[in-house]
Amino acid sequence: MSAPAVVAPPPFTYHRPALLADALELMALDGAVALAGATDLVTMRAHGALAPNHVVDVKAIPALRAIEHYADGTVAIGAAASLERVAVECRTTLPAVADGALLVGAPQTRARGTVGGNVCRASPAGDTLSALLALGARARLASAAGGERVVALDAFFTGPGRSVRAPDELLTRLELPPQLGGSAYARFTYRRAMDLAVAGVAARVTLGGDGRCATATVAIGAVGPTPALVPAAAAALVGTACEADDVRAVCEEVVRAASPIDDVRGTRRHRLRVLVPLARGVVETALARARARAGEVTA
């Protein structure tokens, strides 16, 4: 029996516009896709998941590479900002997002790969996604035909690899509200590096003057068709003194909200089991960061 023929993906035209307006015009062409770091796009094309006629490289557009910290505490991350820069420049302002960015692949992957690519790939296991959700990110999208629109990230993902982004739309930036308190993201993997999340959890907490939890958000990744907020887990923490029993209640809600499948990276049963210590560790780290920050503010 002869080996199956290897079929080369069809050719495409490569564009590298320097202006957003030009990029949007190019995205309106038939079969156009955006290219940022190409760390996902190359494999997607090789596996036949994408067969673009036009590839629009967005990395030469300065506004899409910018990371801006505003005086009121809001942060705007350009879609083409590298994960490496996000890990460094957002370490203090958006700790959970920096945690996620720092876990992606190897230094080479993070130097090329972008936060916008991670979001638009929409993998349930994407390492920045649950952190961005927990921190209340909004996605700014633009197209030549429709202009601009802003979508809350918890309404962005619609399934594995799918989102509300239209084919001709570019993600231009992610916008985050001012962050008080502390946040964290962690994932379970079998290896310490170069592995994809078997399960991921992000949490954000703020503390009142009495040390009790004032507000919280919790999000999960890789344990359902999309990364998702878990309001019940957050509600289990709000108003409590954040004792061990309170954190245990958060973990129970996280497990209840998860709907993992059996796949090559883990069984449903195993994923549900690892979620408990994972969620506990993430909430404890977010609390420790919130307490350290409260100490800095009062000192």
Burial of 261 (0-12, 13-18, 19+ CB in 10 A): middle
First and final C-alpha spacing in the chain:
75
What minimum distance in Å lies between the beta carbon of 19 and ligand FAD? 14
How far is 110 from 197, CA to CA, in rounded Å? 16
Backbone angles phi, psi at 107, to 5 degrees: -55, -35
What minimum distance in Å lies between the beta carbon of 20 and ligand FAD? 10
What are 185's strand-pairing partners? 202
Question: What b/e string do you get for 70-89 counting C-beta neighbours within 10 Å, with b at 16 or more?
Answer: eeeeebbbbbbbbbbbbbeb
What minimum distance in Å lies between the beta carbon of 107 and ligand FAD? 11
Bridge pairing between strands 228-229 and 182-188: unpaired
Residue 122: helix, strand or coil by DSSP? coil
One-letter amino acid of 219: A
Give the footprint of ligand FAD on this chain (CB under 6 A). 33-41, 58, 79, 83, 103-105, 109, 112-114, 116-118, 120-121, 126-127, 170-171, 196
Instruction: Give the ranges where the chain is alpha helix by DSSP (H).
Output: 20-27, 41-46, 62-65, 83-89, 95-103, 107-112, 115-121, 129-134, 231-237, 244-257, 268-298
Nearer to ligand FAD, 9 or 105 (CB): 105
One-letter amino acid of 189: T
Nearer to ligand FAD, 64 or 236 (CB): 64
Nearer to ligand FAD, 38 or 235 (CB): 38
Number of residue whose CB is nearest ligand FAD: 117
Nearer to ligand FAD, 40 or 246 (CB): 40
What minimum distance in Å lies between the beta carbon of 76 and ligand FAD? 14
Token readout for 68 is 């801006």
What minimum distance in Å lies between the beta carbon of 243 and ligand FAD? 33
One-letter amino acid of 141: L
What minimum distance in Å lies between the beta carbon of 257 and ligand FAD? 20
Nearer to ligand FAD, 33 or 250 (CB): 33
Nearer to ligand FAD, 105 or 231 (CB): 105
What minimum distance in Å lies between the beta carbon of 173 and ligand FAD? 9
Nearer to ligand FAD, 144 or 235 (CB): 144
